[in-house]
Amino acid sequence: MHLLIMGPPGAGKGTQAVRIAEHYQIPAISTGDMFRAMRGLDTPLARQVQEIMASGAYVPNDVTNQVVADRLLADDCARGFLLDGYPRTLPQVDYLDGVLDEGARSIDAVISLAVDPDELVGRLIKRGASSGREDDTPEAIRTRQQVYIDETAPLLDVYRQRGVLVEVDGLGEVDVVTKRLFTALDERAGSGSALVGGTS
């Protein structure tokens, strides 16, 4: 089972990824979480990543690709994985294609969580107040939304053309969105795709 979850900043990728991963018994791999985990490290790369994230920009493709490639080598990825927030650019799509080809693997489904931009600003400002995340300030949120439109939104067409895109409305209670998401994945499995059922 090889899944991706995409969506604009604050769409709930991380929130839903944990639930999907538990359901299918695969690891949820969040590039955002991996970069945030570098925060305490006193290295030039860690400092560069922290500065970029705080501004709302994307971490360079070569750094991001390497971090993901290393992570996908871990034993827990043998049965599959859910990538949360990767790929986010066309060069990342190409790189991931290469990594998957090498291991004779392919993407089963790409979940796209769609939410109105105004709702997202509210969610992120609320999260910023409790998490203290440096990129949840109004200025960084605006940058993140624009970078998403410019660099990541075009990826939806790439995966739509490949016939693997599963579009889900991300507005509403977290549990309601989760239910919608599993219904959409089940429908895809029912239509003869490579998806198989989870544990519950």
Decide whether 31 or 195 has the Cβ nearer to ligand B4P: 31
Question: Which residues of the chain form contacts with ligand B4P (CB under 6 A)?
Answer: 7, 9-15, 30-32, 35, 52-53, 56, 58-59, 64, 85-86, 88, 92, 123, 127, 135, 144, 172, 174, 177
Point out the residue whose Cβ comes nearest to ligand B4P: 32
Alpha-carbon distance of 157 to 152, in angstroms, equals 10
Is 19 among the catalytic positions? no
- 42 touches 30 (CB < 8 A): no
Decide whether 48 or 193 has the Cβ nearer to ligand B4P: 48
Which member of 71, 105, 133, 180 is catalytic?
A: 133
Here the tokens at position 157 are: 């067409």
Decide whether 59 or 109 has the Cβ nearer to ligand B4P: 59
Alpha-carbon distance of 53 to 200, in angstroms, equals 36
Which member of 127, 142, 162, 179 is catalytic?
A: 127
Is 88 among the catalytic positions? yes
**Smallest separation, CB 123 to ligand B4P (Å):** 4
177-196 exposure pattern, b = at least 16 Cβ within 10 A, e = fewer: bbebbbebbeebbeeeeebe
Instruction: Please tell me whether 40 is known to bind a ligand.
Output: no
**Smallest separation, CB 185 to ligand B4P (Å):** 17
Percent of residues in the chain assigned helix, strand, coil, to nearest 5:
55, 10, 30
How many residues are present in the chain? 200
- 91 touches 52 (CB < 8 A): no
**Smallest separation, CB 57 to ligand B4P (Å):** 6
Is 13 among the catalytic positions? yes
Is 133 among the catalytic positions? yes
Decide whether 35 or 159 has the Cβ nearer to ligand B4P: 35
Cα dist from 115 to 6, 27, 121, 171, whole Å = 11, 25, 11, 6
Could you list the residues known to form a binding site, using ranges.
10-15, 31, 36, 57-59, 85-88, 92, 127, 133, 144, 172
Could you list the residues known to form a binding site for ATP, using ranges.
10-15, 127, 172
